[in-house]
Chain A
Amino acid sequence: MSMAAVETKKITLRTADNHEFEVEEAIAMEFSTIKTFFDENPDASEDTIPLPNVTSKCLSAIIEYCKSHLAFRARETSSSIDEQVRTYDEEFVKARDNESLKELILAANYLNIKALLDMLNQAVADRIKNKSVEYVRRFFGLENDYTPEEEAAIRAENEWAFEGVDPDDD
């Protein structure tokens, strides 16, 4: 309502667990889902946007990520900035367990934040790269619905894919 030049516009988001988050417009526009919504409904900017598929835990992490990356992008590009971005991304995923990673992927997917989604997918790939079939099974929380013969057949057909796998260390 107030048109003071210095005041930045804020958007309100409501998560699945009923928390409300106020974020600067610039950050909300990083969520392509929301940006598209506003492009098509320019008068809706005062309303609270419901995000039934995103928990508050996820959203706060995502907001942090977008804030930091916006700040990085505002600075001049240089190899030391690239290095800082890499370190930030590494730290962002390092402490999270597999569950949180997957939740974040779902949220980033729903909000359509391309760079974050790509980074998270890479992190998952890094975690299961060169691991055994069992490890990957546990990671995704899936049951093996093959018969032993079926699984053996896949392995036999693709011997080249089963060399040099890391031993499971958990």
Chain B
Amino acid sequence: MEREVGLDQLGDLALHIILSKLGPEDTVRVSCVSRRLRLSTSEDSLWALFCFQDLQLSTPQDHQGNPASSFKAAYQLWREAFAMYPWPLVKRVKRCWDKLKNWLSNDFPEVEATLRSGASESDIQQLETRLKVKLPLPTRLLYRFHDGQERTDEGHSSTWLGSSLGIIGGYSFYNHLVNVYLLPISQVIEGTRMVIRHLGFSSRSKYIVVAASAYRPKKFFLNCTNGQLYVGTSNLPTDGEMIQCVPNALIRSVHDLHGDQQQDAMLLWLEEHGRRLENGIIKVCEEGNVRSISLFPEVPPLCSTAVTNGVQVRASAAFVPELANLQDSAEKYLFAYSIRMSLLPGGCIIDGMTFSSCQLNWRHWIIRANEAIISDVNGEAVIGQFPLLHPGENEFVYESCTPLSSSSGSVEGSFTFVPGRLADPKGRPFDVQVARFPLQKPDYVF
């Protein structure tokens, strides 16, 4: 007999509010209290709230996208599918993928289409058995959501298109073309075995290949013991030399099933990549007719912009780890840089006169390692070309590279242009500034 203020009188509204503040686990426990309460805890609007809060779901569906009969059922299916993982980590990994996919669906849906559906626990178990490793928890979860990317160019001839859809993206300069894909488990197994065979890694090594570029040998390795990610340098084939990709201090508890502090390099790396894409630091670029994610930064402070007499020059650099040579003190690191130049719609304006075109003649670069000038060069043209600019055209873009002995430096310089054309100059030559842009080995290496 209820002598005190009982639940019936508390009111359904108050109860609904209390349950929504309690969260899913406590709500289930409350459903065990009595039949009367079970009714209140079964309200689907409550579970719709939990599905939205935990999983950002607005329709009831399981983790593979199949529709569920109710939000309560959907939530249940999700918890059961991931029962072997700490739930906070599951939510975090889902948010990581969601952020990447949201950006892709707006800016590069062709890449979103390459994401394979999640691996099963037994797929992961197979990888662990065959390669004799134990995957760090966050990486396991990443694969549970998406088993890498599908590459469509196997054996096709007109294939360049198929290899520009790497979700990590890349760059190209001279004949060095890189575009990095996340590998599916089948490729992780095969790739790792090849590396063990050809590069002489011990068969007991805890490194597995998780991402790679289609053409140039750029490979990312996950160390399953410490959870760190590495990328092979130019000395990978001879010495197994690699550079770590994520700040070590951030990696923790990678095999710990308890608590909610687990983070490994794969997760941190993908979260950082998602952030850079979301914030527009890197974007999709088009070269020829091919679109790909370019690792050359697009915004300050990594990208500089200067306008002189109507000529705009944007410039930024990308660290190229696969061509680094940590054993060479003079040319330890290599940076690629991308220069984009254009003539603003107002045309080329010099001393109050307007010209409808201008053409590049010379380049002048000053390269610094830390603050010391290590190179001060003048030369004709850029990559052998003399770009002719007209107002309002697309940017003329070219890439080049420079070695650096230190992890930090900068490039600045100028181009000499003539108004009109080189063959028919309409005035005297003028210098166009390239504002200083940094060369900086980043904390997160892509």
Interface SS of B by simple majority: helix
In the assembled complex, which residues on chain A have CB atoms less than 8 Å from the CB atom of B38?
154
Do the beta carbons of B33 and A140 come within 8 Å of each other?
A: yes
Interchain CA distance A164-B47 in the complex, whole Å: 21
Q: Is B10 close to A, CB under 8 A? A: yes
Interface SS of A by simple majority: helix
Do the beta carbons of A102 and B10 come within 8 Å of each other?
A: yes
Nearest B residue to A104, CB-CB: B5
Which residues of chain A from 95 to 136 have a CB within 8 Å of any chain B CB?
Answer: 99, 102-103, 105-106, 109, 117-118, 121-122, 124-125, 128-133, 136
Do the beta carbons of B10 and A142 come within 8 Å of each other?
A: no
In the assembled complex, which residues on chain A have CB atoms less than 8 Å from the CB atom of B37?
140, 142
Choose the segment among A20-28, A66-74, A76-84, A144-152 that binds chain B (4+ C-beta atoms closer than 8 Å): A144-152
> How many residues on the B side are at the interface (Cβ–Cβ under 8 A)?
36
Choose the segment among A3-11, A30-38, A43-51, A155-163 that binds chain B (4+ C-beta atoms closer than 8 Å): A155-163
Give the shortest distance, in Å, between B135 (CB) and chain A (any CB). 22
Q: Is A137 close to B, CB under 8 A? A: yes
Give the shortest distance, in Å, between A142 (CB) and chain B (any CB). 5
7 additional contacts, CB 8 Å, given A145-B36, A159-B83, A162-B29?
A106-B10, A121-B21, A128-B18, A137-B33, A141-B2, A154-B32, A154-B38
Q: Is B136 close to A, CB under 8 A? A: no
Interchain CA distance A157-B25 in the complex, whole Å: 12
Give the shortest distance, in Å, between B53 (CB) and chain A (any CB). 14
Interchain CA distance A151-B76 in the complex, whole Å: 17
Interchain CA distance A122-B3 in the complex, whole Å: 24
Q: Is B30 close to A, CB under 8 A? A: yes
Q: Which of B7, B22, B32 contacts A146 (CB 8 A)?
A: B32
In the assembled complex, which residues on chain B have CB atoms less than 8 Å from the CB atom of A130?
25-26
Which residues of chain B from 8 to 50 have a CB within 8 Å of any chain A CB?
Answer: 9-11, 13-14, 17-18, 21-38
20 interchain pairs, CB-CB under 8 A: A99-B4, A102-B5, A102-B10, A117-B17, A125-B26, A128-B26, A133-B29, A133-B32, A136-B30, A140-B10, A141-B2, A143-B34, A144-B33, A145-B34, A151-B32, A159-B83, A160-B83, A161-B25, A161-B26, A162-B28
Q: Top 3 closest A-B pairs, CB basis?
A: A161-B28, A125-B21, A102-B5
Task: Take A99-B5, A141-B3 as given contacts and tell me if A128 and B22 are in contact as well, using a CB distance cutoff of 8 Å.
Answer: yes
Task: Take A125-B18, A158-B76 as given contacts and tell me if A102 and B4 are in contact as well, using a CB distance cutoff of 8 Å.
Answer: yes
Q: Which of A103, A118, A145, A165 contacts B29 (CB 8 A)?
A: A165
Q: Is B87 close to A, CB under 8 A? A: yes
Interchain CA distance A102-B24 in the complex, whole Å: 22
Interchain CA distance A145-B38 in the complex, whole Å: 11
Q: Is B80 close to A, CB under 8 A? A: yes
Nearest B residue to A132, CB-CB: B29
Interchain CA distance A129-B20 in the complex, whole Å: 11
In the assembled complex, which residues on chain B have CB atoms less than 8 Å from the CB atom of A109?
11, 13-14
Nearest A residue to B79, CB-CB: A160
Task: Take A130-B26, A133-B29, A136-B29 as given contacts and tell me if A144 and B17 are in contact as well, using a CB distance cutoff of 8 Å.
Answer: no
